[in-house]
Amino acid sequence: MIPPSTRDLMEVANSKYAVVVAVARRARMLSEDTKNDENYRLSTVVTTALEEIMNGKIKIQEDGDSMLKED
């Protein structure tokens, strides 16, 4: 995956911080599901989380706290 530009990230949320927090939270959710998998890699979980957010599968709700909402 080619890393998204800052401009692309700003279309997803109002701040880069919100995107980073949302990706970290989604990656943690994904890692909890796959931590017993022998092929588990943190980098793939983070990449998957970022792709889901950039593709609109996961939305960022900014209610004072960056929460995730699945579509």
Residues 18-67 have pLDDT tens digits of: 888 899 999 888 888 777 777 777 778 888 899 999 998 988 887 655 46
Its domain, for residue 43, covers: 6-57
Biggest distance spanned by C-alpha atoms of the chain: 37
Report yes or no on 14 lying in a domain.
yes
Q: Does the residue 47 lie in any domain?
A: yes
Residue 62 lies inside a defined structural domain of this protein: no
The burial class, CB within 10 Å (0-12 / 13-18 / 19+), for 22 is buried
pTM (2 decimals)?
Answer: 0.76
